[in-house]
Amino acid sequence: MTKIHIHGGDVYRNPGILDFSANCNPYGMPKGVKEAVIQALEKAECYPDVSCDALRKALAEEEEVPEERIICGNGAADLIFGLVLARKPKKALLPAPTFAEYEQALSSVGCEIVYVPLSEEKGFVPQENFIDRITEDIDMVFFCNPNNPTGILADRSYVEKLLQRCKRSDAFLVLDECFIDFIENSEAYTMKAYLETYTNFFLLKAFTKKYAMAGIRLGYGFCSDNQTLENMQAVMQPWNVSVLAQEAGIAALKEKEYVKETLSKIKAEKEWLLEKLRKLELFCYPSKANYIFFKGPLHLKENCLKQGIAIRDCSNYPNLEKGFYRIAVRKREENERLTEALEYILNGEKRK
């Protein structure tokens, strides 16, 4: 089988592994969500609500976005593919590195892809040259904020310039905010407030990371262009969001205390983990998400696997080479196990 889907989180070919390669909430799915999934089994003999009405209503209240601007999908990737298929861009612009699914979706419709490399010397921070490259021949632009895998966060003024340039060039901006809830003061960075002003953009989010619901598959997006939403619904599969996923999403949005408590713990654990990694003389980039992007020895992934730990080798991302890695922030005892393994590996490297 061709290896198209290269991602973290492959626990199926690595049973029993301690997984730092996938960036989900380490405190697990909320109890209320698990209970909702079990209760939803009673309704699983019926087709799901094709419009996800109850879920979209709950999302509208939570996100303060009109219900008619919301579309749900079988994970964020489902919406990425649906959006690309609906609009069929001929030429698209991507920063490099960034999330791999954008490229795969664009390639599926024969779209030409232009990459703007993010400079390692400038810490992979997006520069004005990315905005300048949005010319009239560009149909679609993807931008992930904070970016995956680097965790670098662009401020609102930069993203607003992106929106303005896309509007002038008649390009459609896809803004991925799947990790934005992990940053402090996320309301100062999200672009939800710009939905009504700009019809040329789609804002992407998901339940996957924040609620540890990767296996349930539930994503959602906002767009003020009704035609784009209608075209997406026309090309996406009906009943793509299961009864179980819809009920899980509704239940997750009620988990206010879980979110507050676990995000606070993740923040503290990230600071602890960063300190340990720096003591090991590993260069860490200033990620604002729930993961750390760093440089290390060339065979660190393989050596970690020997210690029963999976980390994300980022060398398959465009504009990254061997030696770039990403690790999720997990619970203290797991983070301790990782740092002990890294210390053992790195000390071995020094002895060579």
Token pair, residue 67, equals 């219900």
d(CA 58, CA 253): 7
CA end-to-end distance (rounded Å), the chain: 37
The last residue of one of the domains, among 225, 252, 279, is: 252
Cis omega (within 30 of 0) for bond into 149: yes
Give the list of residues 6+ apart from residue 298 with CB closer than 8 angstroms, or none: 322, 323
Shared-domain flag, residues 240 and 313: no
Shared-domain flag, residues 126 and 80: yes
Shared-domain flag, residues 82 and 215: yes
At residue 351, what is the residue type?
A: R
- Total number of domains constituting the chain: 2
Query: How many DSSP H helices and E strands does the chain contain?
Result: 11, 13
The last residue of one of the domains, among 183, 217, 252, is: 252
d(CA 181, CA 187): 9
Q: How far is CA 132 from the centre of its chain?
A: 25
- How far is the CA of 348 from the CAs of 304, 310, 345, 351, in angstroms? 12, 19, 5, 5
Residue whose token pair is 């340039």: 165
Shared-domain flag, residues 119 and 217: yes
Shared-domain flag, residues 212 and 273: no
* CATH code for the domain in which residue 225 is found: 3.40.640.10
Q: How far is CA 205 from the centre of its chain?
A: 8
d(CA 235, CA 342): 47
Shared-domain flag, residues 76 and 155: yes
* Dihedral-angle region of residue 184 (phi above 0 means left; psi in -120 to 50 means alpha; beta otherwise): beta
Phi, psi (deg, nearest 5) at residue 243:
-55, -45
Residue whose token pair is 């079990």: 38
Shared-domain flag, residues 115 and 230: yes
d(CA 120, CA 108): 29
Shared-domain flag, residues 165 and 39: yes
In a domain, 216, yes or no: yes
The last residue of one of the domains, among 205, 230, 252, is: 252
Shared-domain flag, residues 244 and 336: no
pLDDT at 2: 41
d(CA 141, CA 155): 17
Task: Residue 325: name the closest of 279, 267, 277, 288 by CA.
Answer: 277
Full residue range of the structural domain in which residue 191 is found: 31-252
Question: How many C-beta neighbours within 10 Å does residue 330 have?
Answer: 24
Please identify every stretch of the chain with a pLDDT value under 50, giving residue numbers as ranges. Answer: 1-3
Helix (H) or strand (E) holding 172: strand 172-176
In a domain, 10, yes or no: no
Question: Rounded to two decimals, what is the model's pTM?
Answer: 0.95
In a domain, 5, yes or no: no
